[in-house]
Structure 1
Amino acid sequence: MYNLRLLRNILPIAGHAHPRWLASQHKRRPQPGSLPPDRLEQLRSDLFERREELSGAEWTEVRQSLVDGYKHINGHNVDAVILGVCSAPNQLALAKNYVEFLRSRGSKPNAATLGRLLRVYNAAYHERPLSEAEQSEILQICRSLQAEHETLDASSCENVIHGLVATSGDDWQRGVPLLEMMKVTSTPSVAAYSALTEKAFHVASPEQELAWLLLEEMATARKPPKCEVYLALLNRLANETAQLPAQLSRLLQFLERHEILVSQRVAIRLQELSSQVPQLLHTRTTHLGALGKCQSCQQHLQPVAISDEEFRQLSECFLERVLIRRDVFQRSTPEEVARFKKFVEKTAPYDCVIDGLNVAYSTGTKKTPQQMAKLVATVVRHFREQDKRVLVLGREHMRNWSKQAMHYVHSNASLFLTSNLSHDDPFLLYATLRSGQETDFFSRDLMRSHAFHLGTELKPIFRRWQQEHQFSLVTQTQTGQIIVKEPVRHRLCAHQVAGTWHVPYCAQYTPHPTDSFEVPANWLCIQLKEQTTPATKTKTKTTR
């Protein structure tokens, strides 16, 4: 038997919790498996990673010590917590040993506990092939969970999906209805989407369209696919090179359409694939020089500008979908919107529209009204010195700011002040669009909600227009000079130039990528080549 004194050193004695364990009990309740890491990590490293099984006495000690040591661990969730700690791919035997311990003492593992066990099976599946016995165990757990509950909660659905995709055969397809079941109460998670999409790319060709459908669905829901999804497709193409040009082209078009940056892991796999089939794919790492010039192929990246027709569609739809939405009128009034539109008709066009309050708060919210007014005046001066025609949008309370600075603003720009409760962004964007395609705007706001409300067709057009026309304040120096961030005029997502794809990538995957218009540091320069068939070669020789 393992020395129980080691357990007592790792875990607090029952009824006498370690002070550090209780230091943050006033905070929100942690989720099982993501509890304070200091003691749980010690439990993992000093005990769980050394063993494939524990005795009943040892499991009893671990279980009771956790319940007594944490206020947020109780008899209902302690089992899931323990399986969350022993969740590594090589700890499947230990996790199963714990579930067997529960059953041996007459306890029936609950859904959360069995769900955790399915996640451990999935972790092992990604490290090695699972045996037929292990796959049978997975299917038995999945059947029992679904038999007990006609409708599973979102978390249980996700756990069952992770279990099903770890099996061979067609059982994984039972996860697709579970994805739909999740939509009843929430949007399916990135993990659930990615697990099914990865599996669909792994299996036979008929399921490829399902994979693409899921990929498109998750990207539309603003849930970036995990690296494993792309790797599953690339690994499949490495073995089915006849499909490579068409399928890889489809992937690159998907990345372009949704402005997704892949991770370095995916970029490395693309380079490996290029080395494997140089006759079909040529991939090089590169970076951009001045004005978006690729240092590999020496081509300039595509300008980000939208067409006149795209601008017309954007302008016409903006009023209907953004400016007159209900939540705008909750913070404004139809009368104010009408007054603003009349003002714009009278004073437009402008060369630049400035969000005055956004500028004022750009260097901190603890500035005095006099300092904020001077900053707005400095930004106005920046554009007036370039002979730009300027509109400044602000709030009524700005009338109380420095008279001298606000007098300069009023004398050198058109000034429209909304009520103190109004949202400035819709007014800012309307005035900019109304002034024509050459007009810029000045704000640090990323305009996420406005892009979202324009819909899937207009959102990418809006984003490209925004990238080309948005200026923002970086900082103000001690001497009062301002440093302005100017727009990046070339595209920042995957796209094709003269038959060559340029694909940006980031260091590592993130489920919440930034919407800012920063130039990615790392790029791939990719040339796709059509596969030449023997028949084609013969025909070519005959022609000569």
Structure 2
Amino acid sequence: MVKITSSPGTSIYSALASAAFRNGKPDIAWKALTNIVLRKLIPKEYVYLSHLQYCQLEDAKFFNNRIEEMFHFWIKHSIIPYDKIIRTYSNTAIKYGWSTDRITISKKTGNCKHCGYFLSKMTFSEDEFQELAKFVMDRVIIGSDIYNKTNPKELLNFKTFIENNKPFDVVIDGLNLTYMKYKSAPKLLLLINVVEHFKSRGKKVLVLTRKHQRKLSEFKRVERNAFVFLIDNLSADDPYILYATMACGMNTMFVSSDLMRQHKYSLQDADLQQKFKKWQFSHQYFIKFSATGIRIQDPFIYLPIVQKNDNCWHIPCVTEDLRETLKEFYEFSDKWYCLKYNEKKMY
């Protein structure tokens, strides 16, 4: 009897997917590709070349349907393809009557100069938000192991505090910002600057942080400009951040550089995970460091992933030196491809 001591890696699954596409067995290929991305691995480039060969087995209508299957796969798994890969798809699509162009789309305007369409805005109806908030509360906060990392009395006090003081405009992960110490700056300077940034813009700010920070003399500057809730030094703070933000309503934002991966996965449903990520994209401020200083990255207005607008596909891409394409990519790419098919030419 053979004992399997490890799971197949990307090379084995890529070889399987590639062979399946070449031999007209798409169901096997998609299953292998899914196994790759669920393991947060990156398919080998030759898988996409084999898929393109498969797309070209029949007429233009077949090509159109098959190539869009890959684009929908990228949507489902939030994949941002490499420039080289989508360029190959683009060049092949031209042979079948598509009009394509490599473009720049501003995250502020969302407008494509090639086709004239705008990227999809990230909007939630009140019902959609309430449904997502309920699942996050039930599965991430109540259904998690939060009681192993905090105590029921503290959580009850926190909920009462939120109910008595909400709504807040911005919820700040104080501990996260404290550990993001910039160069030789004082320990709390980043947190203080971020709090004062939002306060100066008329925002009602809540800072969640640990009790030990109150011992720092400069913490008084935080308390002067924001509501503060101090949790126990051993408590998990992420569930508190999510609870406070969602309990205050769909217009409340939060500041943290935590990607909240484990909480997204706790939802245990692909559709809910996509909705959570969409909510996160549109509600989370990130702190970014550069050679010139610090900037606060605003939440996105437009969806930063693969999407379809009428008969136009807009596909962001990254260069090969970025290895985050199949992980959690929280940047708005400035490199996009617009692929537009002409139905009259194709059919």
The question of a shared fold, defined as TM-score above 0.5 by the shorter chain, is answered with yes
Sort the Cα spacing of 1:260 and 1:326 in 2 relative to 1 into closer, same or farther, 3 A. closer
Task: Work out the CA distance in 2 between the residues paired with 1:380 and 1:477.
Answer: 22
1:384 matched to 2:199? The reply is yes
Sort the Cα spacing of 1:213 and 1:529 in 2 relative to 1 into closer, same or farther, 3 A. farther
Say which SS state the counterpart of residue 304 (structure 1) adopts: coil
Sort the Cα spacing of 1:362 and 1:333 in 2 relative to 1 into closer, same or farther, 3 A. same
Amino acid paired to 1:422 = S
1:458 corresponding residue in structure 2 = 272
Matched-pair contact (CA < 8 Å) for 2:181–2:190: no
1:317 corresponding residue in structure 2 = 135
1:288 corresponding residue in structure 2 = 105
Q: How many residues align?
A: 343
Task: Work out the CA distance in 2 between the residues paired with 1:517 and 1:357.
Answer: 21
Task: Work out the CA distance in 1 between the residues paired with 2:104 and 2:87.
Answer: 15
Say which SS state the counterpart of residue 171 (structure 2) adopts: strand
2:166 corresponding residue in structure 1 = 348
Matched-pair contact (CA < 8 Å) for 1:234–1:270: yes
Say which SS state the counterpart of residue 471 (structure 1) adopts: strand
1:432 Cα deviation after fit: 0.3
Matched-pair contact (CA < 8 Å) for 1:323–1:426: yes
Task: Work out the CA distance in 2 between the residues paired with 1:395 and 1:294.
Answer: 45
Which ranges of structure 2 fall in alignment gaps of 5 or more residues?
none
Say which SS state the counterpart of residue 317 (structure 2) adopts: strand
Identify, as 1 or 2, the structure richer in helix: 1
Task: Work out the CA distance in 2 between the residues paired with 1:381 and 1:267.
Answer: 43
Task: Work out the CA distance in 1 between the residues paired with 2:188 and 2:89.
Answer: 52
1:236 corresponding residue in structure 2 = 54
- Over the residues paired in the alignment, what is the CA RMSD in angstroms? 2.6
The correspondence of residues 2-151 of structure 1 with structure 2, limited to 5 A, is: 150-151=1-2
Deviations 1:495-534 (A, max 9, x none): 012321101122228765352421223211011344779x
1:396 corresponding residue in structure 2 = 211
Identify, as 1 or 2, the structure richer in strand: 2
Greater shift in the superposed pair: 257-266 or 318-327: 318-327
Larger RCO (CA within 8 A; separation ≥ 6): 2
Say which SS state the counterpart of residue 26 (structure 2) adopts: helix
Deviations 1:460-491 (A, max 9, x none): 1111111111113234999xx95322122111
Task: Work out the CA distance in 2 between the residues paired with 1:512 and 1:222.
Answer: 10
What is the percent sequence identity of the aligned residues?
30
Matched-pair contact (CA < 8 Å) for 1:492–1:520: yes
TM-score (norm 1): 0.58
Task: Work out the CA distance in 1 between the residues paired with 2:192 and 2:203.
Answer: 14
Task: Work out the CA distance in 2 between the residues paired with 1:378 and 1:263.
Answer: 36
1:433 corresponding residue in structure 2 = 246
Task: Work out the CA distance in 2 between the residues paired with 1:388 and 1:476.
Answer: 26
1:250 corresponding residue in structure 2 = 69
1:222 corresponding residue in structure 2 = 40
Which ranges of structure 1 fall in alignment gaps of 5 or more residues?
1-149, 155-184, 537-544
The correspondence of residues 140-539 of structure 1 with structure 2, limited to 5 A, is: 150-154=1-5, 185-186=6-7, 188-204=8-24, 207-241=25-59, 242-278=61-97, 281-289=98-106, 290-364=108-182, 371-402=186-217, 405-455=218-268, 456-475=270-289, 483-508=295-320, 512-513=324-325, 514-530=327-343
Sort the Cα spacing of 1:408 and 1:272 in 2 relative to 1 into closer, same or farther, 3 A. closer
Any runs of at least 4 consecutive aligned residues in structure 1 with deviations exceeding 6 A, and if so which? none
1:22 corresponding residue in structure 2 = none
Deviations 1:329-350 (A, max 9, x none): 2221222222211211111111
Task: Work out the CA distance in 1 between the residues paired with 2:300 and 2:68.
Answer: 26
1:390 Cα deviation after fit: 1.0
Q: Give 1 or 2 for the bigger CA radius of gyration.
A: 1
